[in-house]
């Protein structure tokens, strides 16, 4: 059966659906030896040879879901022209080709998800979905009540006003304050930009929670595989974003249950 190339690449674990579209338009995909750069192009993996950068795309193998405690000083990409360390360099012993779900800045540390399941990654990163992400932020000086209120009500950035954030003080001193800041959006460098917009200087930034997942049991630079029920639970807890069109609730729940069942079947147990 023919499918769009971006869906084939996503299902194969090459990249998320959005990233797959960029790979296609860059002319990196060939079907039966012919470069195809149109997003509407289709292929049948049962009959056609689909390659990315000359390598055959395969749909077999286990689907894996990983939580990594990213240190600062690592790039959340698969390549870096400057030769800086990549988060995948930390995944010693992982045989599957995985890629990050979303990004953490070079100087940001904390919880990062990686997978080779393109559909799952696309669902988790889609802007319509709202999964809480908690950060601990160390800023210089004492944070004022008006600054806290502005963060809680939403901050005007150059790409639009942010959704309200949950903010509290973890601890403070005369020189620094540690904040807990929880958001569900995933804009570029969002937490840093929010803090800077209200006059705060970020000294250290760490993501400590993604949905229900935390960093318990992980040392910096360490990782573990998610169990099938953890991967499917993350998928189920994502929900349509506010302001988006509502579909039939029963239909949406049925789709979530179907996807969760698929993940249960495909995902491997935590490796110890």
CATH of residue 101's domain is 3.30.70.580
Same domain, 165 and 196: yes
User: Same domain for 205 and 83?
Assistant: no
Residue 201 sits in the same domain as residue 228: no
- My answer on whether 141 and 36 are in the same domain is no
Report yes or no on 268 lying in a domain.
Answer: no
Same structural domain, 116 and 224 = yes
Residues 181 and 76 in one domain: no
pLDDT digits (tens, 9 = 90+) for 61-90: 678 999 999 999 999 988 889 999 999 999
Q: Are 121 and 141 in the same domain?
A: no
**16 domain-assigned:** yes
Mark whether 105 is an active-site residue.
Answer: yes
- If you average pLDDT over residues 93-108, what whole number do you get? 89
- 121 with 73, same domain: the answer is yes
Which secondary-structure segment (H or E) carries 103? none
Question: Which of 166, 192, 210 is a domain's end point?
Answer: 210
Which of 64, 85, 78, 75 shows the shortest CA–CA distance to 223?
Answer: 64
Q: State how far the Cα of 196 lies from the Cα of 215, in Å rounded to an integer.
A: 26
Mean pLDDT of the chain: 84
Q: Please list, in sequence order, all residues whose beta carbon lies within 8 angstroms of the beta carbon of residue 67, skipping any fewer than 6 positions away.
A: 111, 112, 113, 210, 213, 215, 218, 223, 224, 226
Is 248 inside a domain boundary? no
Contact 202, 192 (CB under 8 A): yes
Q: Where are the beta strands (DSSP E) in the chain?
A: 3-4, 29-31, 34-35, 42-43, 50-52, 55-56, 65-70, 99-100, 109-115, 133-140, 156-157, 160-161, 166-172, 176-183, 202-210, 213-214, 223-225
Neighbours of 143 (CB within 10 A): 22
Residue 163, domain CATH: 3.30.70.1560
Among candidate residues 62, 89, 105, 159, the one labeled active-site is 105
Number of domains within the chain: 3
CA dist 269 and 229 (Å) reads: 9
Average pLDDT over residues 15-31: 87
In this prediction, residue 117 carries a pLDDT of 82
Judgement on whether residues 31 and 162 belong to the same structural domain of the protein: no
What range defines the domain where residue 98 resides?
65-127+215-240
How much is the pLDDT for 260? 44
Q: Given this model, what pLDDT does residue 244 score?
A: 32
pTM score over 0.85: no
Of 12-26, 127-141, 209-223, 245-259, the poorest mean pLDDT is in 245-259
- Per-residue confidence band for 130, with pLDDT thresholds at 50, 70 and 90: confident
Q: 138 and 201: one domain? A: yes
| Pair (23, 50) in one structural domain | yes
Domain check: are 140 and 91 in the same one? no
């Amino acid at each position: 059966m023919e499918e769009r190339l971006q869906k084939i690449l996503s299902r194969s674990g090459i990249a998320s659906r959005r990233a797959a579209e960029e790979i296609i338009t860059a002319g990196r995909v060939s079907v039966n030896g012919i470069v195809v750069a149109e997003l509407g192009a289709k292929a049948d993996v049962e009959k056609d040879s689909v390659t990315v950068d000359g390598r055959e795309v395969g749909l077999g193998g286990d689907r894996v879901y990983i939580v990594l405690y990213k240190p600062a000083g690592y790039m959340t990409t698969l390549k870096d022209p400057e030769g800086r360390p990549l988060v995948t360099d930390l995944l010693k012993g992982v045989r599957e080709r995985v890629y990050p779900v979303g990004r953490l800045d070079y100087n940001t540390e904390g919880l990062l998800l990686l997978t080779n399941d393109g559909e799952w990654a696309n669902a988790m990163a889609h802007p319509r979905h709202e999964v809480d992400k908690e950060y601990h932020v160390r800023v210089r000086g004492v944070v004022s009540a008006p600054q806290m209120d502005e963060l809680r009500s939403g901050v005007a950035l150059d790409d639009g006003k942010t959704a309200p954030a949950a903010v509290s003080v973890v601890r403070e001193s005369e020189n620094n304050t540690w904040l807990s800041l929880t958001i569900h959006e995933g804009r570029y460098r969002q937490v840093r930009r929010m803090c800077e917009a209200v006059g705060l200087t970020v000294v250290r930034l760490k993501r400590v929670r993604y949905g229900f997942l935390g960093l318990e049991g992980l040392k910096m630079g360490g990782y573990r595989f998610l169990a099938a029920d953890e991967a499917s639970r993350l998928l189920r807890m994502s929900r349509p974003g506010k302001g988006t069109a509502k579909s039939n609730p029963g239909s949406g729940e049925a789709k979530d249950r179907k996807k969760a069942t698929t993940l249960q079947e495909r995902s491997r147990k935590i490796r110890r």
